A and B are shown apart, each in its own frame.
Chain A
Amino acid sequence: MEKAPFDVVTLATPAFILLIILEMVLGKLDPKRASYEPRDTFASLTMGLGSQVFGALTAGVVAATTVAVWRHRLFDISMTSAVAWIAIFFLEDLIYYWFHRLSHERRFWWASHVNHHSSQHYNLSTALRQTWTGGVNGSWCLWLLLAFLGFPPAMIFVEKGVSLVYQFWIHTEAIKRLPAPFEAVMNTPSHHRVHHARNPRYLDRNFAGILIIWDRLFGTFEPERDDEPCDYGVVKNLGGFNVFRIALHEWEAMARDLLRAKSLSEVWNYVFGPPGWSSDGSRKTSKDLKVAWQSRLNSPAGSAGSSP
């Protein structure tokens, strides 16, 4: 089967809208549980709509490539097999983990993903702050592995939709902690709050889609601490709500760096190095920020010291 019988995300959209309204009302009743800033909300939702529109422009290429790869599949996997659905649930989620980790650790993919992290808020509208440029950075090729194994393209697209829908509800401060067995296995609001935080302790942690087990397995898990509230956003927060700046600012910064690059090695690092890499070391990567934070923790004499 090559065509998905339904679009999971489109089907879930009315529920997204209803839940956002409910969260806004909850925020009105108890400001500690949710906060919305109108311009931030508008930007997040417009990014979501833009993502659908720009995604549609590349959807044909993605679908055609997936079908082409599936025609050279290793195995014949039936869409009616329960075992196949269980297998794709785990495999798709594992691919999502590595896609998401790549999207944080290499600038070329971070340039597309950064917009999802650019809000200083963490509410259900933040979940819809999605990329406009994800279709052109080639990250979708990671899912071709599933087609090559033999999972029908329709099955892959349904499972990707399921993952996206699951990740919607975890973008909330309204739910503090869920029962321990659930927190141990599943990605939850608490785990994903950590992922959206810019505190050095929390940077580049909890890349999970549906299952948090991958972070536990690959050493990127960080629990949320009551004594360190999440400070949402990116290391250098954005100075406005213009959606074009939100969508394109890292690409613009990369282009500017490339124009100044003095060697092939600099070109490589400005594109595929970690976000924050600079030839003169004047900027900080997540790793640098964590090391500096750790050394401040280890020297209680005080944080203030050098010039910028």
Chain B
Amino acid sequence: MHPNFLLVTLASAVAIFILTGLSALLATPRPTPPLTVDAARARLAQEFPDVAVSGVWLDPSGHAAVARASMRALVLFRVGDGYVARDLAWSALASAERKAGQVVAVFGDFAAPRAVFHPPPDAPWPPQLLPSPPSGDRQGA
């Protein structure tokens, strides 16, 4: 081991905090406007290219979307300035409890454990999906 290993490690840790602070200060993430139905459909088509989606629901935050494909729920959720997609059984999503205004979808995946939704208090759960347009109008990603 390098004799100055501890010193180099400490200096690196300080550099990490300075660089992270600078990246926050300079604020150069990608623009991530709230999802629209079209944007959600386009992203879902990219993530699940061979899957026919029957309807889409947008979270009021604009940071998540749910779509149904037969007995599966396709979930899109924002992480940082990007989006991540997972799927789970529709029944599992439907039975997720609403707590403190939130519904948590659990994926059983160490790499992406859960997505959080904020449905309006008076809205039903599972959410009511906006139906897909006729297949001729469907846009691929």
Interface positions of A (Cβ within 8 A of B): 7, 10, 13, 17, 20-21, 24-25, 27-28, 31, 34-42, 45-46, 48-49, 52-53, 56, 59-60, 120-121, 125, 231, 233, 236-241, 245, 248-250, 252-253, 292-293, 296, 302-308
Known A-B contacts A35-B28, A49-B13, A307-B69; the reply to A245 vs B110 at CB < 8 A is: yes
| Nearest A residue (CB) for B112 | A239
Q: Would B112 and A236 count as touching, CB distance under 8 A?
A: yes
Contact for B29 among A35, A46, A305, A308, CB less than 8 A: A35
Q: Is B50 an interface residue (CB 8 A)?
A: yes
Contacts A27-B26, A27-B28, A38-B20; A240 near B112 (Cβ below 8 A):
yes
Q: Which 4 A-B pairs have the closest CB atoms?
A: A239-B112, A307-B70, A120-B82, A27-B28
Interface string of B28-67 (1 = CB under 8 A from A): 1111000000000000011011111100000000000000
**Bound Cα distance from A125 to B19, whole angstroms:** 9
In the complex, what residues of A have CB within 8 A of residue B100's CB? Answer: none
Question: In the complex, which residue of chain A has the Cβ closest to the Cβ of B9?
Answer: A53
B18 to A, closest residue via Cβ = A17
In the assembled complex, the Cα of A236 lies from the Cα of B80 at a distance in Å of 15
Q: Which of B12, B28, B70, B83 gathers the greatest number of chain A CB atoms within 10 Å?
A: B28
- Closest-CB distance, A103 to chain B (whole angstroms): 18
A236 to chain B: which residues have CB within 8 Å?
85-86, 109, 111-112
Contacts of A306 in B (CB 8 A): 50-52
Q: Within 8 Å CB of A231, what residues of B?
A: 46
Q: Is the CB of B19 within 8 A of A239?
A: no
Given A41-B20, A308-B69, A292 and B84 contact (CB-CB distance below 8 Å): no
Q: A179 to B30, alpha carbons, bound, how many Å?
A: 29
- In the complex, the chain B residue whose C-beta lies closest to that of A284 is B50
Complex alpha-carbon distance, A45 and B111, angstroms: 19
- Do residues A308 and B87 form an inter-chain contact, with CB atoms below 8 A? yes
Complex partner residue of A253 from B53, B80, B82, B110, CB under 8 angstroms = B110
Bound together, the chains give a CA A248 to CA B110 distance in angstroms of 9
Contact A36 B80 (CB under 8 A): no
Roughly how many angstroms separate A236 CA and B109 CA in the complex, as a whole number?
A: 11
Determine if B23 and A37 form an interchain contact, defined as CB atoms under 8 angstroms apart. yes
Residues from chain B with Cβ under 8 Å of A121 in the complex: 82
Chain A residues with Cβ under 8 A from B110's Cβ? 245, 248-249, 252-253
Cβ–Cβ contact A308 & B16, under 8 A: no
Nearest-Cβ distance from residue B4 to partner chain A, whole angstroms: 8
A3 to B115, CA, bound (A): 50
| A49 and B16 alpha carbons, distance in the complex (Å) | 9
The answer on a CB contact under 8 Å between B12 and A237 is: no
B114 within 8 Å of A (CB atoms): yes
In the assembled complex, the Cα of A17 lies from the Cα of B27 at a distance in Å of 18
Please measure, in the bound complex, the distance between the C-alpha atom of A156 and the C-alpha atom of B63, giving whole angstroms.
48
B 1-31 contacts with A by CB, 8 A:
1-2, 5, 8-9, 12-13, 15-16, 19-20, 22-24, 26-31
User: Which among B12, B70, B115 is the interface contact of A13 at CB below 8 angstroms?
Assistant: B12
Kindly state the separation between the CA atoms of A252 and B109 in the bound complex, as whole angstroms. 9
Q: Tell yes or no: B121 within 8 A of A by CB.
A: no
Answer yes or no: B74 CB below 8 A from chain A CBs: yes
Residue of A nearest to B45 (CB): A303
Q: Are B82 and A237 in contact, CB atoms less than 8 angstroms apart?
A: yes
Asked, given contacts A28-B28, A305-B50, A305-B52, whether A239 binds B113 with beta carbons under 8 Å apart, the answer is yes
Of B24, B48, B49, B107, which one neighbours A296 at CB under 8 angstroms?
Answer: B49
Please tell me which one of the listed residues A17, A31, A307 contacts residue B19 in the complex, with CB atoms under 8 A apart. Answer: A17
Question: 0/1 per residue, B69-106, Cβ < 8 Å to A?
Answer: 11110100101111111110000000000000000000
| Contact across chains for B70 and A42 when beta carbons are under 8 A apart | no
Residues of A within 8 A of B23 (CB): 24, 36-38, 41, 125
Chain A residues closer than 8 Å to B138, beta-carbon distance: 302, 304
A37 touches B29 (CB 8 A): yes
Instruction: Give the Cβ gap from A125 to chain B, nearest Cβ, in Å.
Output: 7
The verdict on B140 contacting chain A, using a C-beta distance below 8 Å, is yes
Q: How far is the CB of B10 from chain A (nearest CB, A)?
A: 10
